[in-house]
Amino acid sequence: MAYQIKISGTDVVFSAEKGERLLDAAARAGLNFPHACRCGFCGMCAATVVSGDFIAYAPGSAEGRPSKGPRILTCSTEAASDAEISIQFTRLSPNVRMRVASMERLAPDVIRLVLQPVSGEPFSYLPGQFVDFILEGGERRSYSIAAAHAKAGLELHIRHVPGGLFTDRLFGVKGDPVAKGTEFEVAAPSGEFRIDRESGHDIVFLMTGTGFAPAKAMIESLISRPLEGKAVYLYWGGRHRVDLYMDELCRSWDAKYEWFHYCPVLSRATPEEAWDGRTGHVQNAFVADHPDASGFDAYICGSMRLVEDSVRALTAAGMKEENIRSDAFTSKAGLN
């Protein structure tokens, strides 16, 4: 059963199937709503309800509850009737056919995948955005772009999720193997996880695992065009040394640029690793170094728990919530 969703103040109406999230239904209709985390936490995809009934899901919950608004998050809400909502939107660009240009194993569970458009046409995006792979049956998998520009190709850092629809194939576990020359359909870049150059604050990146990918893209953009008089801090966390798969690159930035400061943090370092650096969690390391965080903007990317714990720690240290931007990595069990 499909419901008709009208966007208030326009003549735009799109169809949303029962059980389909409004953000996905809009994308299927060629519409792009503002969004980042896709899991009900960041709030960027909020819409105002004019009329109609909805089922809303709390972050991480599989149990929906009836909602009539007045505010809904389109990434975690489905329609329960025909409805009208108010939200800003843009028209999505057509999907792009892309070919694997190279693959590199950065860590036992991380592959650097570089894609190039089959057409040879330039591919543009803003650092911090992500792309969706369009897979069998219309399934989508989102991956952050890991370079400031696509001159050498679209760079992605992809972690293996055992049982994943896409990552099992990428890591050669099952399904058709991915190799140089393999082609994929990729949706146009989107997402609002981007540097605010007008803020005037120093910047801290709090990242774990492949959450480093969007940080890398944004830091490269800052290297090309620094923020005058502002400091940039990267706190990158992993369980073990191997999880910090571009540690040498970050250390080289720290050595080369006076305004850039790198702090690697391990949460489960073993004696065999001979780790003499920071231990624990990135948000706690940052707050220990900067107990007054009111002069910072924060960019957080990693698990939902990282985002939630970091927001609590940062606001307790004086940072305003409006100065915190996040992109939580989520997975569909057995499908990613």
Per-residue pLDDT reduced to its tens digit, 289-308: 999 999 999 999 998 899 99
Residue 249 in this model has a pLDDT that exceeds 80 = yes
Q: How far is Cα 234 from Cα 275, in angstroms, rounded to an integer?
A: 18
Write the pLDDT tens digit of every residue in 119-160: 988 888 889 999 999 988 778 888 999 999 888 899 999 999
Q: Which residue has the tokens 């952050």?
A: 144
Helices (H) and strands (E) in the chain, counts: 6, 22
Per the structure block, which two tokens stand in for 120?
């040879």
pLDDT given at position 333: 43
User: What is the CA 260 to chain-centroid distance, rounded?
Assistant: 22
User: What is the CA 47 to chain-centroid distance, rounded?
Assistant: 20
Asked if residue 284 lies in contact with residue 308, where contact means CB atoms within 8 angstroms, the answer is no
Predicted TM-score of the model (pTM): 0.80
Q: Which residue has the tokens 């890991």?
A: 146
Superfamily of domain 2-91 in CATH is: Beta-grasp domain (3.10.20.30)
> Which CATH number fits the domain 96-186, given the four candidates 3.40.50.720, 2.40.30.10, 3.10.580.10, 2.60.200.20?
2.40.30.10
Q: How far is Cα 287 from Cα 175, in angstroms, rounded to an integer?
A: 44
Pick the more confident residue, 34 or 285: 285
Pick the more confident residue, 138 or 309: 309
State the amino acid at position 143 in one-letter form: Y
What are the boundaries of each domain within the chain? 2-91, 96-186, 202-328
pLDDT given at position 334: 40
Do the two domains 96-186 and 202-328 of this chain adopt the same fold? Answer: no
Q: Which CATH class is domain 202-328?
A: alpha beta
Write the pLDDT tens digit of every residue in 175-216: 888 999 999 999 888 888 889 988 999 999 999 999 999 999
